[in-house]
Structure 1
């Protein structure tokens, strides 16, 4: 079993839209090459707090990252920090808030947009600071990092679905088509990742509402998909919490950690 992990975060993707619009991913599920779960985001259902939750297993209320304008480094162990400390290679193609949480804050585009520094938690990074940064460019950034640096843990974080949701709302063709576009892009890269044996998690931080926002307790804001691909997973019908994703990835990476994880989700 390959113990390398790729985490794909499709920012702002609502569960129902994922089930209706991600034809390739749901085709993998239909043909038993992936398993789809649903999970609820922690509160508040906002991006930066939930990046921290997914990558540390710590809820926003506990982490203190309670809204998007809390600009500082994380105070907790993350998948990145644990992997880097235990001799693993880390990489991310992601929005600049991820760099601020785990590398350096505040983000300096000239210094941080392209990062290659073994001493940092995210050793190799291509970060962006535009919500409309094309998902196609993002996927090419991620594949460059994967091929060039062979990271043990790679985060791929896309913003176009969330951007469309803020501009047009949940029940809009633009939002749904942005999800369809992300699915098509993933279909260009996932076959290679699967063939090479990566353990792959594809999820979202939060959903979207018809007010063109998120942050509250509505089901459409909180219910998000989780697709698991790889022989490291049990693919059983189990309940998985957003706070357990960090521990799940640490287990797959073979890291020593004290994070909670859904044991039944592992093979």
Structure 2
């Protein structure tokens, strides 16, 4: 079974993840996953990097240049490729993902719940407040996986990013947001793995001490990557820094589908 669950923890830098997320670190220690460090593309903003993760195309080519770029993607996304291959797609995600791959602009009156559609994301539960609780979000994602039997599922959290913008990456509040989602993940992850799902946990970008992200510092660009798959040898490879442009071909590889011509060749596993 080549089903993949992609969990994107918006705004989580690698330093905070590997220092404070004890459940995921426990799985690294016990060789239950492969851990890498990803270097995010620039600019280190959310909407451009959602596009990078899903399409493998850098910003200067894909045209999603800032968080204010509200339009549909023109690139072939993992969602589109998976659907074309006969797989079922889903996302429990911030509404910007809907704007990139389903409908733009997003209308909360009509677009929050999109089930059994012909869009690239066939089944979507989209939220539009940055503080939408992570425990609600994970339940949304679990619903799509369980009831809609999605083969490629994005679960995208905004809580860490929201707290980081309010308090900065050096704050106790930022650390606690990471600790909270680590605990929530523990209630779902082992069950998904036992059922044969491959799970990828990463972030779009990090956060700095000044409550922002856009630049070139390690806290803004270096993010974690935890891979749970029999196709990837378990181990601690965090000294290996993976370009974020490798994420899209990685997802295609795990799904067993062809990558787009614009994506890089997969080189790090």
Q: Structure 1 residue 261: deviation in Å?
A: 4.1
CA RMSD of aligned residues (A): 1.2
Residues 45-56 of structure 1: pairs in structure 2 closer than 5 A: 45-56=44-55
Per the alignment, residue 247 of structure 2 pairs with 245
Residues 1-267 of structure 1: pairs in structure 2 closer than 5 A: 2-235=1-234, 237=237, 239-257=241-259, 258=261, 259-265=263-269
CA contact (8 A) 1:246 1:261 kept: no
CA contact (8 A) 2:39 2:241 kept: no
TM-score of the pair, normalised by structure 1: 0.96
CA contact (8 A) 1:248 1:261 kept: no
Could you say if the C-alpha distance between residues 256 and 262 of structure 1 is closer, same or farther in structure 2, counting changes exceeding 3 Å? closer
TM-score of the pair, normalised by structure 2: 0.95
Higher relative contact order at CA 8 Å, sep ≥6: structure 1 or structure 2?
Answer: 2
Q: Structure 1 residue 211: deviation in Å?
A: 1.1
Instruction: Flag structure 2 segments of 5+ consecutive residues without an equivalent.
Output: none
Deviations 1:63-94 (A, max 9, x none): 11111000000010000011111211000000
CA contact (8 A) 1:42 1:222 kept: yes
Aligned residue-pair number? 264
State the distance in 2 between where 1:246 and 1:261 align.
Answer: 10
Decide which moves more: 137-146 or 239-248.
Answer: 239-248
Q: Secondary structure at the match of 1:240?
A: strand
CA contact (8 A) 2:43 2:215 kept: yes
Q: Structure 1 residue 234: deviation in Å?
A: 2.9
